[in-house]
């Protein structure tokens, strides 16, 4: 699966244009998703040197991306975007991991569960609510 991942506020705390501290388990989870066969695209507002710094920061921690701020062209035909009137800026990703999601950024452990188990956040929350409810105690047969 192709997964687009934001940088500031998602992998690291918001300190733009500086690089904030890593959000706990972000790099570890993303590396595991990559090891599981998912293709990660870094999708950030950063550009130029600020983007290069973010990519380098991730690479120093062993995280490499399938593509950065663009779709990866499987055919190796990297057309100039300006020369292609039909070019779409929309990223071809199945999932987006971003702190600007409705409801904010879930914990990275939850993110891994959602992706690896192929469940929605709603399904996950329902499971959590059901497991938190105490089981009804049945009356012993002699009190029926």
pLDDT in tens, 98-136: 999 888 899 999 999 999 999 999 999 999 999 887 777
Number of domains forming the structure of the chain = 1
Give the residue from 107, 4, 6, 104 showing the smallest Cα distance to 54: 6
pLDDT tens sequence across 37-96: 999 999 999 999 999 999 999 999 999 999 999 987 654 544 454 555 555 678 889 999
CATH of the domain at 124: 3.40.50.1000
Assess if residue 100 is contained within a domain: yes
d(C-alpha 93, C-alpha 95), whole Å:
6
Assess if residue 85 is contained within a domain: no
Assess if residue 143 is contained within a domain: no
| pLDDT (mean) for 23-35 | 98
> What global pTM score does this model have?
0.81
Assess if residue 58 is contained within a domain: yes
For 97, the domain range is 2-77+91-133
Assess if residue 62 is contained within a domain: yes
Paired residues of 67 in beta bridges: 41
Provide the pLDDT for residue 42.
97
């Amino acid at each position: 699966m192709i997964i687009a991942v934001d940088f500031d506020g998602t992998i690291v705390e918001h300190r733009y244009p500086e690089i904030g501290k890593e959000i706990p388990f972000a790099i570890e989870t993303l590396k595991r998703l990559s090891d599981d066969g998912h293709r990660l695209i870094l999708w950030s507002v950063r550009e130029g040197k600020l983007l290069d710094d973010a990519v380098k920061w991730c690479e120093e921690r062993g995280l490499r991306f399938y593509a950065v701020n663009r779709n990866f062209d499987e055919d190796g035909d990297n057309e100039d975007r300006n020369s292609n009137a039909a070019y779409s800026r929309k990223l071809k990703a199945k999932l987006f991991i971003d702190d600007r999601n409705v409801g904010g950024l879930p914990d990275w452990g939850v993110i891994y569960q959602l992706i690896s188990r192929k469940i929605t956040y709603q399904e996950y929350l329902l499971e959590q609510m059901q497991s938190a409810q105490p089981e009804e105690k049945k009356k012993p047969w002699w009190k029926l």
